[in-house]
Amino acid sequence: VYYGSRAETQTGTQVNLRSGGTVAAFAPFWKVSNKKWVAQKDTTRWVWNSQTTLFNRKGLELENKDPLGRYNAGLYGYQDAMIIAATQNARYREATYEGFEDYFYGVPACDEVCSAGRNLDFSGYKTLMTTSQHHTGKYSLQVPADSVISISATVVAA
């Protein structure tokens, strides 16, 4: 993130849309020196606000942390194309979510050999997923009376 004063300082006058709001005396982070790009590490102007710590196989960010060491994570569904849950103050391995929405997603995966596993996998119960009763989405898991369902999930200490 770049910190600097804005060129538009007089709030009582009409805004110049072409140049108003630009940063006065902007100093780029990268500069060409001896035909190479060199970082200009001006920590009074350029301050980092997040660092990506984990990506998925499609290059999308799964986890990041801020300068205070707080983690945020995103969980993807629909063949890792759309974010289905986001957490703050938690690492990727500490977050989980299941909404039963993408089990019937109609696009076949391009990479079946190396498909990504689900965070929680209810695939064995697809016959119990229904549209007749649901809360915020289209599907829910309907457990018959006097029945039990279960899945296994690995829990790792942080």
Model pLDDT for residues 107-153, shown as the tens digit of each residue: 666 656 666 677 788 989 999 999 998 888 899 999 999 999 999 88
Q: 70 and 131 share a domain?
A: yes
Q: 83 and 97 share a domain?
A: yes
Q: 100 and 126 share a domain?
A: yes
Cα(158)–Cα(151) distance, rounded to whole angstroms?
21
Segment (H or E) for 62: strand 61-65
pLDDT under 70 in the chain at which residues?
7-10, 107-116, 158
Backbone angles phi, psi at 107, to 5 degrees: -95, 120
Looking at residue 93, the DSSP 8-state letter turns out to be: G
What residues pair up with 153 in beta bridges, in sequence order? none
SS (H, E, C) 19-39: CCCCECCCCCCEEEECCEEEE
Q: 114 and 60 share a domain?
A: yes
Q: 80 and 112 share a domain?
A: yes
Q: 38 and 74 share a domain?
A: no
Q: 43 and 59 share a domain?
A: no
Segment (H or E) for 84: strand 82-88
Q: 123 and 61 share a domain?
A: yes
* 123 contacts 156 by C-beta, under 8 angstroms: no
Q: 30 and 60 share a domain?
A: no
Q: 69 and 118 share a domain?
A: yes
Q: What is the pTM of this model?
A: 0.69
Total structural domains within the chain: 2
**What integer pLDDT is reported at residue 107 of this predicted model?**
66
Whether 68 maps to a domain, the answer reads yes
Q: Domain residues for 18?
A: 1-47
